[in-house]
A and B are shown apart, each in its own frame.
Chain A
């Protein structure tokens, strides 16, 4: 078994693979990330063949680890890096109990966090990647971790999953090619390329921020924006949390605190430049 150990914010991973290549790609992508505290990983993610012969014959990758879901569809070995990333995500989504997990991206400036919840395709990753290269600190691309006691957002700066047109956009803005993972074509999510957050995001991965604004983006529409009521915000946050139910009343209280204290809005945007401008406008109006 090939393995990689790394820490991302409060979560330490032990990633195992039956093949060398996905771990080698992961090692390059996560260059500069710290090791688990005292060498102890809190989460194990594994990728391996769904059947023994699939290790060599038309190799296929299945994702597993401490927690597993039935009926996950195996992928081709050439998408092994994506499988490893998905295995890491799955362990966090199913196993995390110390923080409320929001399916969202987040960026920080001046100690205040802007949280961008959204489904795949909403553009949250691209917006966060762009903001993270233009005066904001990237805190998260996929999961925002809300401390159940303090209500602060803890950074979880995993590699950013760029998809389709976002790949060329970020390639044109970032001069350092070593921050990018390999091009992955024809994945279940389309064309995909991972981007390592910049050095500041990694160096400050232990600095939390106070949630100050929650914006729900929708990519691919004419520019528009609208407020989100407290009750709708509560409902949408619970819908976008993978562990709200498992946390019981602690999850309820953390979600309610966000809904009652953090202003929220939704906005639609046709392209990244407009999306970034709308986010900046919201932030200016909120005094961020």
Chain B
């Protein structure tokens, strides 16, 4: 089975603003507003560079912050991806 690939229109279709250590996002296509905390902005930044599956995204994120990319990290990334898909900021295919 092929792994699901995640892509995003962030940040080109978003108005973003840092506030209190969070990232405030107005997503123009959906008209929705989001408060994002790490690692979500970093995940969106990676997906904005190129669509990725969860495992590849996990590797890049872990390399970015210098931690091991293990099953625990992958579970966190998959959970956040599910939330991003539900919010409309990320599309899975």
Contacts and interface: CB of A to CB of B under 8 A. Distances in A.
A170 interface: no
Given A229-B20, A231-B20, A252 B26 contact: yes
Give the interface size class of chain A: 10 to 19
Contact of B35 (A231, A245, A248, A252): A231
Chain A CB within 10 Å, residue with most, of B22, B26, B33: B33
Interface in A192-251: 229-231, 234-235, 238, 245, 248-249
B66 interface: no
B33 A230 contact: no
B4 interface: no
Contacts, number: 26
B33 A252 contact: yes
A229 B20 CA distance: 8
A279 interface: no
A249 B24 CA distance: 13
Interface class of chain A by DSSP = helix
Nearest to B22: A231
Give the interface size class of chain B: 10 to 19
A136 B32 CA distance: 37
Contacts of A253: 15
Contacts of A238: 33
A175 to B, nearest CB: 47
A77 B35 CA distance: 46
Interface string B12-43: 00010101101010101001010100000000
Contact of A259 (B15, B19, B26, B31): B19
A142 B15 CA distance: 30
A253 B24 CA distance: 11
B19 A245 contact: no
A238 B22 CA distance: 17
Q: Identify the 5 closest CB pairs spanning chains A and B, nearest first.
A: A231-B20, A252-B26, A231-B19, A230-B19, A229-B20
Interface of A: 229-231, 234-235, 238, 245, 248-249, 252-253, 256, 259-260
9 contacts: A231-B20, A231-B24, A234-B24, A235-B35, A248-B31, A249-B15, A252-B26, A256-B17, A259-B19
